[in-house]
Structure 1
């Protein structure tokens, strides 16, 4: 049996028993400790009781939906969340990202890709811990403190989700330089390939809404760059 999971705990929240068990079996086979939940209230309860390292969260759940689950658990403790959705709709995806989700998979999905996405999200957590000694970056009136994971715009603090912060940090490391969607997905999500370009676009849209639309420039057909001056 593979031991890639190294004993980390994952909460699987899925109301369809067959899918829940299939995902659980595959993750356990990869060395993860898995806790199961089948509805919204149960997910929040299991999260509080087990303190998982990552949450796999279906959008459509009994009790209350996955978006509400995500809001409640993120308010309790920041944690990587991979949402499972039957709808490949941008508006629906943006709601999930706004609730604090880090990435999403559209059903039906391949188990191999799910396990790879889980591993990539956990690697991001490990990389974030390595930034503790970095100094703050200032670009015009935008200040990014990598160690404290805090952001200020014109002196006012802006609250970003973990993924939004990692995306901003990646762009801020090379201000003015256009980074392709594929490169951003590989660096921020740790999962190379073109399949994640919509995820990047959705997170950039959410990031712009918080720090100012003019701060992130689009290079059409290529990617994005963080502007070095103050947004208008």
Structure 2
């Protein structure tokens, strides 16, 4: 992780918040914490962080609503903090714009690994040249800016969705397993690959359909994974 990178921790449990702040500050990150959703939106707007860790259970606002508001103006990576049994919450959170999730209880090692993976992607995007990627079918990706357009119209992809589509487009017609996608896109350990990948693929398909596309884009290969097909 690089010094100068900034994280906003949104967590109403004081013990968990203190743990996250301590672990992240020890890695050299600038960390700001709040236990309120409204304040989280203000902090992200003021600070333009690289990453937000977001608890879904907050006293003043549902975490998914915070995520939805952040996505109106921020392209920071968002990692949800959830309970292990909250699969519906994880699904909703990923659908409204989160890039990743981490289940409670978690270890300091897991926090460091998961945050480092996301921030490597944030740093590489900043340092990468602003090259566009023709993904076929009128889809253009700009991974360094985490943006995408379809026939010139901007698409509401999250940073993780842009990275995932860029991975697919780098190997059109080839099968990607879910494990390969996690290693390529999320670059981390401690990840339940099937759930995370499947939800993001579903989000990409839905957003492309809403943009008016009738192409298949990403085909499911039973028992294997996915194939990118922009034809």
TM-score under structure 1 normalisation? 0.86
User: Which is worse superposed, 85-94 or 144-153?
Assistant: 144-153
For residues 48 and 153 of structure 1, the distance between their equivalents in structure 2, rounded to whole angstroms, comes to: 27
**Cα distance change of structure 1 residues 46 and 193 upon mapping to structure 2, 3 Å threshold:** closer
In structure 2, the residue matched to 1:84 is: 81
Count, aligned residues: 226
Equivalent pair of 2:56/2:63 in contact (CA under 8 Å) = yes
For residues 150 and 22 of structure 1, the distance between their equivalents in structure 2, rounded to whole angstroms, comes to: 33
Q: Which runs of 5+ in 2 are unaligned?
A: 210-214
CA drift at 1:179: 1.1
1:22-171 map, 5 Å: 22-146=19-143, 149-153=146-150, 156-171=153-168
CA drift at 1:178: 0.7
Q: 3-state DSSP class of the match of 1:75?
A: coil
1:8 corresponds to which of 5, 10, 16: 5
CA drift at 1:144: 3.5
Q: Which runs of 5+ in 1 are unaligned?
A: none
For residues 120 and 72 of structure 1, the distance between their equivalents in structure 2, rounded to whole angstroms, comes to: 24
**Cα distance change of structure 1 residues 184 and 61 upon mapping to structure 2, 3 Å threshold:** same
**Cα distance change of structure 1 residues 57 and 145 upon mapping to structure 2, 3 Å threshold:** closer
For residues 224 and 23 of structure 2, the distance between their equivalents in structure 1, rounded to whole angstroms, comes to: 36
For residues 98 and 76 of structure 1, the distance between their equivalents in structure 2, rounded to whole angstroms, comes to: 17
In structure 1, the residue matched to 2:184 is: 187
Equivalent pair of 2:175/2:221 in contact (CA under 8 Å) = yes
Deviations 1:107-163 (A, max 9, x none): 112221121111110111122235534343142344444466543446654321111
For residues 9 and 143 of structure 1, the distance between their equivalents in structure 2, rounded to whole angstroms, comes to: 29
User: Which is worse superposed, 153-162 or 79-88?
Assistant: 153-162
Equivalent pair of 2:146/2:158 in contact (CA under 8 Å) = no
For residues 189 and 22 of structure 2, the distance between their equivalents in structure 1, rounded to whole angstroms, comes to: 25
1:218 corresponds to which of 217, 220, 231: 220
* Deviation beyond 6 Å, 4+ runs, structure 1: none
In structure 2, the residue matched to 1:17 is: 14
Equivalent pair of 1:182/1:194 in contact (CA under 8 Å) = no
